[in-house]
């Protein structure tokens, strides 16, 4: 309004072209920024000066052998849980989308049950399976087979892995189903009209497009799983959180060791986030007209 | 007398309680262009989709090149074919959609090459060379590496036509191929259709482009409320319609 009103014809003598545009000032933004910076500085100051954090102990334990071994176990549990979980999720999603009412109902019930039971409770169930079934038998249903003692067959690590995988599969199934539903019906029709075989339709046409909707949720699930592995400490498995507890039980240095675990979880989550970024980028091909540059490409351009 | 390329007899189809097709009889000879006209809701698209079994007919038979579509007949029984067999039948019938339905995550070239490789099992190197030729034929030889969203609507529909041609179909079905296009892009797609018609491709085209029907069609079929109201050469049906409903429709479309 003000710009328009100053621009009157016949005003050229005062030099309208030379008018300077002054951006609006935002004093409260400066005040808010200042306050946030003060709080942040206080927090950092506390981290550095409070002896309770015991940074020398943190540094000493961060790469200690038992901690690194526990870390590897955590990564292994996460990876195995994720792979098994998503492998289980694919048939669950397919069954729930099936026109066969029995398959759909079984999948629905599985997801209902395994989303209802807390992971901790489930883990304890698997660890105590021996009380329920003394031996497990493999063979023809209701027929002959070979039997094994349950406790020999399912170690506590096995129990943890089964629990995590079954738990993950329920969530993964729903995430995959959501992705499949997000693919336009016309894509299924086009693939069918071209006579493309059914499995090829799924892997080549539908799934790559579903991945765009699946990935952000799958990444959430994966990060959640990474931290959920800390629950298996109840089965006395030497993953990161268990090992940290063992060490501070011995040394009494609770806070620095909790920080060791925390920082490792943060680093792993950061690594997963980077992985997520590039995977999402890969599956964005064709979905946007031109892919935005990666942070590295942006940096290189800025430095040039 | 040779057997017709397409033979539709007594086809009925309902969605729930709505009868969409109420006894359609239609034949199309090889090498001819059949244009289906009719008001919206008259069953044009449904009829087209019944020809390649994207929709199952409730009653009646569809034959393409003498082969029963979707069923196998033994005596007076019709056995539904397995999905694999139906997919094999569809690979011989091209289908071009109103909304193109290109695969957005594949390039134009990959879109064209996908079905010949996976449905017909042809060697990829030969398929890609031919896919390139087909894109050239529809005037897009230099856009093979573009993704569908980087192309205009008219270009996307031309890629979709090349994709249908890549299977060397005996018959191509077009479901309102220009209805989703901006007016200035309609011409480039119709040019490709005319070119195909001149080459003797058997085509059934559902469209509202009366001008195209007049110059390219061998037979014009007017459909209303799930029935064939009249059919014949374009000069007859378009210029001297015998039925009141055809006249009423044409007077609305030709304004």
Is the pLDDT at A143 greater than 80, yes or no?
no
Partners of residue A184 in chain B, C-beta under 8 Å: 101
Q: What is the pLDDT of residues B140-155, one digit of tens each?
A: 999 999 999 999 999 9
Determine whether the interchain pair A194/B101 forms a contact, defined as Cβ–Cβ distance below 8 Å: no
Residue A102 domain-assigned (yes or no): yes
Asked whether the CA dihedral A105, A106, A111, A117 is positive or negative, the reply is positive
Look up the domain containing B129 and give its range: 101-168
Q: How far is A287 from chain B (nearest CA, A)?
A: 7
Residue B164 domain-assigned (yes or no): yes
Look up the domain containing A162 and give its range: 77-237
Q: What is the pLDDT of residues B109-134, one digit of tens each?
A: 999 999 999 999 999 999 999 999 99
State the number of CA atoms in the 13 A half-sphere of A259 facing the CB: 16
**What is the separation of C-alpha A110 from the centre of its chain, rounded to a whole number of angstroms?**
22
User: Domain holding A177: CATH number?
Assistant: 1.10.3720.10
Beta bridge partners of B222: B37, B230
Residues A187 and B101 sit within 8 Å (Cβ to Cβ):
yes
Q: How much is the mean pLDDT over chain B?
A: 93
Is the pLDDT at B7 greater than 90, yes or no?
yes
Give the per-residue pLDDT at A14.
58
Residues B220 and B205 sit within 8 Å (Cβ to Cβ):
no
Residue A16 domain-assigned (yes or no): no
Angstrom distance (rounded) from CA B37 to CA B32: 16
Which chain B residues have any C-beta within 8 angstroms of a chain A C-beta?
A: 52, 54, 83-84, 87-93, 95, 97, 99, 101-107, 114-115, 118-120, 147-150, 163-164, 167
Give the per-residue pLDDT at B2.
66
Is the pLDDT at A297 greater than 70, yes or no?
yes
- With bands split at pLDDT 50, 70 and 90, how would you rate the model's confidence at A141? confident
Residue A141 domain-assigned (yes or no): yes
Angstrom distance (rounded) from CA B246 to CA B253: 11
Residue whose tokens read 């079984």: A106
- With bands split at pLDDT 50, 70 and 90, how would you rate the model's confidence at A93? very high
Residue of A nearest to B167 (CA): A194
- With bands split at pLDDT 50, 70 and 90, how would you rate the model's confidence at A259? very high
- Share of residues in chain A with pLDDT > 70 (%): 94
Residue A10 domain-assigned (yes or no): no
Residue B177 domain-assigned (yes or no): no
Strands (E), chain B: 6-15, 18-28, 33-37, 59-64, 67-68, 71-74, 77-80, 93-96, 171-175, 203-206, 219-224, 227-232
Q: How far is A104 from chain B (nearest CA, A)?
A: 21
Give the per-residue pLDDT at B252.
87
Global ipTM? 0.91
Residue A60 domain-assigned (yes or no): no
Average pLDDT over residues A238-254: 93
Q: What is the pLDDT of residues B150-170, one digit of tens each?
A: 999 999 999 999 999 999 999
Residue A135 domain-assigned (yes or no): yes
Q: How many residues does chain B have?
A: 255
Please name the residues between 268 and 297 in chain A that touch chain B, using a CB distance below 8 Å.
Answer: 283, 285-289
Give the per-residue pLDDT at A5.
47
- With bands split at pLDDT 50, 70 and 90, how would you rate the model's confidence at B255? low
The secondary structure element, H or E, covering residue A224 is: helix A207-228
Asked whether the CA dihedral B19, B24, B28, B32 is positive or negative, the reply is negative
- Share of residues in chain B with pLDDT > 90 (%): 92
Angstrom distance (rounded) from CA B202 to CA B199: 9
Number of domains in chain B: 1
A vs B: CB pairs below 8 A: 81
A199 touches chain B (CB under 8 A): no
Q: What is the DSSP string of A196-222?
A: --HHHIIIIIIHHHHHHHHHHHHHHHH
Give the per-residue pLDDT at A292.
81
Residue B22 domain-assigned (yes or no): no
Number of domains in chain A: 1
Residue whose tokens read 């979709």: B160
Q: Select the residue of B54, B115, B148 nearest A189 (Cβ to Cβ).
A: B54
Give the per-residue pLDDT at A13.
53
Partners of residue B167 in chain A, C-beta under 8 Å: 194-195
Residue whose tokens read 């954090």: A53
Q: What is the pLDDT of residues B9-38, one digit of tens each?
A: 999 999 999 999 999 999 999 999 999 999
Q: How far is A214 from chain B (nearest CA, A)?
A: 15
Mapping DSSP onto H, E and C, the string for A32-101 reads: HHHHHHHHHHHHHHHHHHCHHHCHHHHHHHHCCHHHHHHHHHHHHHHHHHHHHHHHHHHHHHHHHHCCCH
Average pLDDT over residues A181-198: 95
Which burial class, exposed, middle or buried, applies to A303 when counting CB atoms under 10 A from its CB (0-12, 13-18, 19+)?
exposed
- With bands split at pLDDT 50, 70 and 90, how would you rate the model's confidence at A91? very high
Determine whether the interchain pair A190/B97 forms a contact, defined as Cβ–Cβ distance below 8 Å: yes
Residue B127 domain-assigned (yes or no): yes
Partners of residue B149 in chain A, C-beta under 8 Å: 286-289
Determine whether the interchain pair B83/A198 forms a contact, defined as Cβ–Cβ distance below 8 Å: yes
A184, A185, A192, A194: best to mutate for the B interface, most B CBs within 10 A? A194
Determine whether the interchain pair A187/B88 forms a contact, defined as Cβ–Cβ distance below 8 Å: no
Give the per-residue pLDDT at A6.
47
Q: What is the DSSP string of A116-166?
A: HS-HHHHHHHHHTHHHH-SEEEEESTTS-EEEEEHHHHS-HHHHHHHHHHH
B53, B70, B111, B118: best to mutate for the A interface, most A CBs within 10 A? B118
Angstrom distance (rounded) from CA A198 to CA B88: 11
Q: Select the residue of A186, A286, A287 nearest B101 (Cβ to Cβ).
A: A186
Give the per-residue pLDDT at A149.
76
Partners of residue A190 in chain B, C-beta under 8 Å: 95, 97, 101-103
Is the pLDDT at A3 greater than 50, yes or no?
no
Determine whether the interchain pair A198/B91 forms a contact, defined as Cβ–Cβ distance below 8 Å: no
Angstrom distance (rounded) from CA A120 to CA B52: 53
Residue B203 domain-assigned (yes or no): no
Residue B230 domain-assigned (yes or no): no
Q: What is the pLDDT of residues A209-242, one digit of tens each?
A: 999 999 999 999 999 999 999 999 988 889 999 9
The secondary structure element, H or E, covering residue B194 is: helix B183-198
B70, B85, B93, B105: best to mutate for the A interface, most A CBs within 10 A? B105
Residue whose tokens read 């189809």: B13
């Amino acid at each position: 309004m003000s710009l328009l009103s100053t621009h009157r014809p016949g005003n050229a003598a005062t030099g309208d072209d030379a008018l300077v545009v002054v951006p609006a000032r935002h004093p409260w933004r400066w005040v808010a920024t200042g306050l946030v910076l003060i709080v942040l500085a206080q927090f950092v100051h506390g981290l550095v000066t409070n002896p309770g954090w015991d940074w020398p102990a943190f540094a000493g334990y961060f790469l200690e052998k038992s901690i690194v071994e526990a870390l590897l176990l955590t990564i292994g549990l996460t990876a195995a849980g994720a792979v098994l979980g998503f492998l289980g999720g694919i048939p669950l999603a397919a069954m729930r989308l099936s026109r066969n009412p029995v398959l759909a109902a079984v999948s629905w019930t599985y997801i209902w049950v395994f989303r209802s039971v807390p992971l901790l409770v489930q883990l304890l169930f698997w660890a105590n399976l021996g009380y329920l079934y003394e031996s497990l038998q493999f063979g023809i249903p209701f027929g002959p087979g070979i039997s094994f003692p349950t406790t020999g067959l399912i170690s506590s690590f096995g129990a943890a892995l089964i629990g995590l995988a079954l738990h993950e599969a329920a969530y993964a199934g729903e995430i995959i189903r959501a992705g499949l539903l997000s693919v336009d019906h016309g894509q299924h029709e086009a693939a069918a009209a071209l006579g493309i075989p059914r499995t090829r339709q799924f892997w080549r046409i539908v799934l790559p497009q579903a991945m765009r909707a699946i990935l952000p949720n799958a990444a959430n699930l994966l990060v959640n799983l990474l931290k959920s592995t800390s629950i298996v400490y109840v089965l006395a498995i030497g993953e990161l959180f268990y090992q940290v507890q063992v060490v501070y039980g011995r040394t009494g240095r609770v806070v620095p060791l909790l920080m060791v675990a925390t920082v490792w979880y943060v680093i792993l989550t950061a690594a997963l986030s980077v992985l997520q970024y590039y995977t999402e980028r890969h599956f964005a091909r064709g979905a946007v007209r031109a892919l935005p540059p990666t942070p590295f490409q942006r940096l290189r351009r800025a430095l040039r | 007398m040779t057997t017709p390329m397409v033979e539709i007899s007594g086809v009925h189809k309902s969605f729930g309680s709505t009868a969409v097709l109420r006894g359609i009889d239609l034949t199309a000879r090889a090498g001819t262009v059949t244009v289906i006209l009719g008001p919206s809701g008259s069953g044009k698209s449904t009829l087209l989709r019944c020809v390649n079994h994207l929709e199952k007919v409730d009653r009646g038979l569809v034959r393409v090149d003498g082969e029963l579509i979707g069923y196998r007949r033994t005596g007076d029984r019709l056995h539904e074919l397995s999905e694999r067999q139906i997919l094999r039948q569809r690979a011989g019938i091209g289908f071009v959609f109103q909304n193109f339905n290109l695969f957005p995550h594949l390039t134009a070239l990959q879109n064209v090459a996908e079905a010949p490789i996976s449905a017909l099992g042809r060697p990829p190197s030969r398929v890609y060379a031919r896919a390139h030729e087909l894109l050239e034929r529809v005037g897009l030889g230099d856009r093979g590496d573009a993704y569908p969203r980087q192309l205009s609507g008219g270009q996307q529909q031309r890629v979709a036509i090349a994709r249908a041609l890549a299977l060397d179909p005996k018959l191509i079905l077009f479901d309102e191929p220009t209805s989703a296009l901006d007016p200035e892009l309609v011409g480039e797609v119709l040019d490709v259709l005319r070119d195909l018609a001149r080459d003797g491709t058997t085509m059934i085209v559902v469209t509202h482009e009366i001008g195209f029907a007049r110059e390219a069609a061998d037979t014009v079929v007017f459909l209303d409320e799930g029935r064939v109201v009249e059919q014949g050469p374009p000069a007859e049906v378009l210029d001297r319609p015998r039925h009141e409903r055809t006249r009423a429709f044409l007077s609305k479309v030709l304004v």
